[in-house]
Amino acid sequence: MSSESKYSFNLDSKGMLEKLKMEYSDFESDPSSSRHAVNFAITAHHMIDWVWHERIKNKKEYILNDAQHANDVQHADDAFKKFIKKILDSKSELKYCQDISNGTKHYTITRYTPKLKETKTEDDLMWEKLNVTWDKAHIRYGYSGLTVLTSTGELKELPECFKLVIDFWEDFLSKNPL
């Protein structure tokens, strides 16, 4: 079985990780770029699909042992959903990427409860600095770039979140070889 998708110009999960790192580099060079943030988040979120199809779906813990269900489409779908949940539950920053990815692609999120309350641009933060009701204790002095407000009220800087996502995927791929 080929480890490459026939719809992606011969990329595989390692190639997608390299793509993710390039998108991070683009974002680092312009941390106020919504385009770079969205591109990173979409790739990071969809790494789940890549590693599932290349490295995970045939592993014992995801295969139903009952022979009559071996080709059961519902079982395969359930196993994939179980894997997605396991991955997203293991790293909250991946949930932020999921929310940015789905919110950007579909305008809103209606199929699950987002981990993010909203995204924030540099301009949003500048205006909010004039409003005493916003807690600025979480932002480093002088930071200018994109942030996210989590559903629990934490303000997170995206460069730090994105670096943790890259670290997660590097570690995951090294522990789950082809």
CA pair distance 171, 46, nearest whole angstrom = 16
pLDDT digits (tens, 9 = 90+) for 27-71: 999 988 999 999 999 999 999 999 888 877 666 666 555 444 555
CA pair distance 178, 80, nearest whole angstrom = 18
**What are the two backbone dihedrals, phi and then psi, of residue 131, each rounded to the nearest 5 degrees?**
-105, 115
CA pair distance 90, 88, nearest whole angstrom = 5
3-state secondary structure of 150: strand
| Count helices and strands in the chain by DSSP H and E runs | 6, 3
User: What is the 8-class DSSP label of residue 115?
Assistant: S
Residue ranges per structural domain of the chain: 13-175
**What are the two backbone dihedrals, phi and then psi, of residue 139, each rounded to the nearest 5 degrees?**
-100, 130
Q: For residues 73-81, give the mean pLDDT.
A: 75
Instruction: For the full predicted model, state whether its pTM sits above 0.85.
Output: no
pLDDT digits (tens, 9 = 90+) for 105-145: 888 888 988 889 888 876 665 545 544 344 444 444 445 67
CA pair distance 97, 125, nearest whole angstrom = 20
pLDDT digits (tens, 9 = 90+) for 112-121: 888 898 888 7
DSSP-derived secondary structure for 19-65: HHHHHHHHHHH-TT-HHHHHHHHHHHHHHHHHHIIIIITTSGGGS--
Q: How far is CA 113 from CA 76, 124, 148, 173, in A?
A: 24, 23, 16, 28
Paired residues of 147 in beta bridges: 120, 157
Do 156 and 125 touch, CB atoms closer than 8 A? no
What percentage of the chain exceeds 90 in pLDDT? 39
